Structure formats: structure tokens, C-alpha cells
Amino acid sequence: MSTELPEGVQARDVPTARLTTRVLEVAGRDDGEPVLLVHGNVSSSLFFVDLLTALPERFRPVAPDLRGYGGTEPLPVDASRGVADWADDVLALADALGFETFHLLGWSMGGGVAMQVLIDAPQRVRTLTLQAPVSPYGFGGTTGPEGTPLTPDGAGSGGGCANPDFVRLIAEGDSGLDDPTSPRNVLRGFYVAGGRVLDREDLYVASMLTTVTGEDHYPGDSAPSGSWPMVGPGRRGVLNTMAPTVLRLDGIVDVDPKPPVLWVRGEADAIVSDTSMFDLAALGQLGAVPGWPGVEVCPPQPMIAQTAAVLDDYEAGGGAVARLVLPDVGHSPHLEAPGEVTAALVEHLSR
């Protein structure tokens, strides 16, 4: 396995009005309809290397590294704005590249960024693709399809909910298999289904290890809470951007114009799920986190149901929504079922 970029893919730094952004793109493809590919948490643009070249030549795909990942300038993440720091960065990159309008794909946390871009600049988004997106109501601390907060302070979400061993191993650059919480083991156990070993696994692990750690980045700071699990979100860093106290993206229902939406997900996704293995409430229900107060007080977050409800409302309001659900696929459909995902994406972009 290799960490080299595949033939035809090149990296460059793009100065923008906000920061210098590292992007991957297809060499020599300077024309065509722009397609921005926004990665998720603990990853980078490197997870899109094959999708970049798989798209037909009539498209100009560009995959940026978000701040705090890859080769982009690692400015702090202001979590008090939700995911707006990243959304503003994406729009600044589009400006720098001269993209008046563009297609937009967001994966996982990047799906939240993409929804924020749509809310902020609906006239610029030609189509929106959400791949295994974070719930419109964030990650942790809500219940019901309408995203009702469990507590006023967002207990069970934010920077204090990360596995400290995983964070430490990222900071140490661990690329091995000895520790069960190593990035490579997390890639095999959670990013994909069934323990798949991907052809570019070394490249993806290298991508995960570019994640900047600390209170201003991943996972962020935290605050004590009087509610189980006795920790709530802080105001800085990655995981706090997805706390229900600051993130609410159901505003996509009200945008005008409404671009066509494609929602892609794997049935075996263990990260974004109605029983997510990264949701402390779901882990508490399994007995993996002590003191869980019960389903009446702290039920697992129904992430899929929440996204479905918002997209149903989007459709009811006149927007077109296509859905692709893939069996035996986890959190990374474009890596696990590349042919099906690329075909669906090309059809969607052509709408």
C-alpha cells in the first residue's frame, strides 16, 4: 500500500480572504462545472483521491482540506459559530477560484458544513450531495426527529466526549494496529463496515494523522455539566461545533432557491446512526459508559430519523431529494461502493 497521490491528482495551496487552503484537484482540468468535495472529521481531502478522477471530464472537482486538517493553515476553530468557520472558508475558496456557482458534496461532518453553505449562500449551490452527514441537529444531546435538546447545556456532546486514547494516538502519529483505539483500527472498525481493508489504507491513515489536536482543534475544550454524562460542550474546537447548543441546520428547509439534494448513506454506518457507537447515550444503553440514567432521560440520538425528517420537509417545500441507501456499507460509501456512488453522483450532478 502506498501514500503517494494517484496519477493525475495534484495538490496546491490557494490563498483566500480567510486563510491559505490546501486543495486536491485533477491536473489539467481547469474548465468544467465546479464540484467542491468537503471531507469529514479526522480525515482530509486525501479520502477523495479516487472520486476526483472518477468524475467525468465535464466536471472540475476540487477537494479542500478544512482548517485543522491536511495542509490547510491551521487557524483555530471558533465553535461558538457552529460549523460556520468552515462554511465561510469554503465560500472564500470558491471566491478565490472564481466559482460563482458550484456543486457541493459534504461527507460526515462535511455534510454539516455543506448544509451551512447552502443556508448562507443558496444561490451559489447548484446541487447538494450529503454523504453520511452529521444530523442537522448536531452530534449528541438531542432526541426525536425534531432534534429536541435533552438538556439546556448540551450534556453528552462536545469536546469532552472524544476518546482520549484516540486523540493521544493521533497526536503521537500512531499508524499501527497494536492499540485498539489507533487510527488504523478506527478506520477499519468504524469508517468502513465489516473490517474492510481498503486499497489505499496507508494513505487514509496518513490523512487521519494530519488532524491537529488540542482545545482549538480536535477535539476541543469542554465544560462540566450537572446532567449525565456530567460533561458538556466548550466553545472551541471541532466537536463543539456540532453541539446542539450551537448547531441547527434545519434552515435548509427554507432556502430559496432549493437545489436538488442527494442523500447517500450505508445501512451499516456505526458513526452516523440511530444507535451510533460514538453517541454516549447509545454507549450508556449498552453498559459501556457507567451511570446512564435510562432511555426516558437520555435516549440515543436518532440521527438518521432527524436527517430524514428535515429532508422530507425540504421535499414538501418544493425541493427535489434523491436517496441512496447501500447495504453492507458503513460510514464511507464512496470508498466501499465507489461504482454505485459515482454513478448516482454523476446522475445527480447532471440534474
| Cβ(220)–Cβ(76) below 8 Å | no
Beta carbons of 135 and 147 less than 8 angstroms apart = yes
> What are the Cα distances from residue 271, in Å, to 41, 62, 186?
11, 25, 11
Give dist(CA 16, CA 100) in Å, integer.
Answer: 15
User: What pLDDT is recorded for position 351?
Assistant: 85
What pLDDT is recorded for position 316?
98
Sign of CA dihedral 241, 212, 178, 109: positive
Integer angstrom CA distances of residue 110 from 56, 73, 130, 243, 349: 23, 18, 8, 15, 18
pLDDT of residue 2: 62
**Predicted local confidence at residue 3, as pLDDT:** 76
Per-residue pLDDT of the chain (351 residues; tens, 9 = 90+): 467 899 999 999 999 999 999 999 999 999 999 999 999 999 999 999 999 999 999 999 999 999 999 999 999 999 999 999 999 999 999 999 999 999 999 999 999 999 999 999 999 999 999 999 999 999 999 999 999 999 999 999 999 999 999 999 999 999 999 999 999 999 999 999 999 999 999 999 999 999 999 999 999 999 999 999 999 999 999 999 999 999 999 999 999 999 999 999 999 999 999 999 999 999 999 999 999 999 999 999 999 999 999 999 999 999 999 999 999 999 999 999 999 999 999 999 998
Domains of the chain: 9-349 (3.40.50.1820)
pLDDT in the model for residue 82:
98
Quick check: pTM over 0.85? Answer: yes
Place of cell 425540504: 314
